[in-house]
Amino acid sequence: MNPLLALAKGVRKCLAPPPAAFEPPQQARNVTRGTMLAARLEKARTGAARRKGLLGRESLLPGEGLWIAPCESVHTFFMRFPIDLVYLDRKLQVRKVRHCVGAWRISACFSAHSVLELPAGTAQASRTERGDKVEMAPVAASAESCE
């Protein structure tokens, strides 16, 4: 291996930020309506994870989702499937809902602190509306294990 390349690789490794601490998946429930928004929600809290979002995925399965925080706007450039967007403020109150957002769109809610990206149809099925209260909780250990 080229010594200069090896040195550059070593420097990059030393300067790279430490890997983010593992965060267990979350569940998102619409407390106001008594409905489930996502049974398994991934969190995108680092800059790289927020920028990537759902890009590169073929789909979101029912019950899955991505929670991007902080976030006031999203784009669906290069997306391969439509999604629902549920914008939340810091108190997890719904500020805005966008249904079935297709590819090549931009959406924003400047009063939001985070956004849930969910499979298209989830917001309508859960009857989620502006003003509803959402609750996040870790996925139960029993739901995660394969028995």
Residues 97-142: tens digit of each pLDDT: 999 999 999 999 999 999 999 999 999 999 999 999 999 999 875 5
Give 21's pLDDT tier (boundaries 50, 70, 90).
very low
Residue 66 counted as domain residue:
yes
Kindly tell me the sign of the dihedral angle through the C-alpha atoms of 142, 37, 122, 54: negative
Residue 56 counted as domain residue:
yes
Q: What is the DSSP letter of 80?
A: S
Range of the domain at 136: 24-140
Query: Are the C-beta atoms of residues 30 and 37 closer than 8 Å to each other?
Result: yes
Residue 11 counted as domain residue:
no
Residue 136 counted as domain residue:
yes
As a whole number, mean pLDDT of residues 9-14 equals 62
Distance CA 55, CA 53 (A): 6
Distance CA 109, CA 92 (A): 14
Residue 15 counted as domain residue:
no
Mean predicted lDDT score pLDDT of the chain: 88
Q: What is the DSSP letter of 31?
A: T
Q: What is the CATH number of the domain that holds 45?
A: 2.60.120.1140
Is it true that the peptide bond before 70 is cis, omega within 30 degrees of 0? Answer: yes
Residue 48 counted as domain residue:
yes
Pick the more confident residue, 49 or 128.
128
Residue 105 counted as domain residue:
yes
CB burial of residue 139 (10 Å; 0-12, 13-18, 19+): middle
If one counts the domains in the chain, the total is: 1
Residue 101 counted as domain residue:
yes
Pick the more confident residue, 16 or 56.
56
Tell me if the pTM is above 0.75: yes
